[in-house]
Amino acid sequence: MTGRASTAQSSTRSVPARQSWQVAETLGKSFRYASTGVLYAVVTQRNFRLHLIVGSVALSLGVYVHISALQMAVIGLTVGLVLALELLNTAVEATVDLVVGDTYHPLAAVAKDCAAGAVLIAACGSLFVAGCILLPALVRWSL
């Protein structure tokens, strides 16, 4: 099979082979598998890296202008939501590519587009929240 599915599959082969239906035997292995997924997204997904950078800038700005802990938590949660949805979007895309391969199916496009749309909505909401919190703080800080 060629295309994105085979690329995704071959690049994750550095992980020890395991049956996909098996549950991790230890908590440490669970965290290692999750970390592998996050690392995969950082290395292969441009949008994940972009969201990571923008989120880091927003949080750093919050520290710089001394917003409250609650405001930092709200920004952190919205950034976390966007990153989590980006991981789910990556999982949906990989699964769809695995199932349909190189063929086109309109429902595969719907699945991918809806997953990407969820990330877009969350990212816009996150920008709105960060703007509502950070812009007044930046104005106060600059005076």
Kindly list the catalytic residues: 86
Question: Could you tell me how far CA 72 lies from the centroid of its own chain?
Answer: 19
Compute the distance between CA of residue 94 and CA of residue 89 in angstroms, rounded to an integer. 9
Asked if 45 contacts 90 with a C-beta cutoff of 8 angstroms, the reply is yes
Compute the distance between CA of residue 77 and CA of residue 89 in angstroms, rounded to an integer. 18
Q: What angle do CA 111, 89, 29 make, to 5 degrees?
A: 130
| Structure-block tokens of residue 132 | 């509502």
User: Measuring CA to CA, which residue among 137, 130, 140, 92 is closest to residue 112?
Assistant: 92
User: Measuring CA to CA, which residue among 84, 92, 73 is closest to residue 123?
Assistant: 84
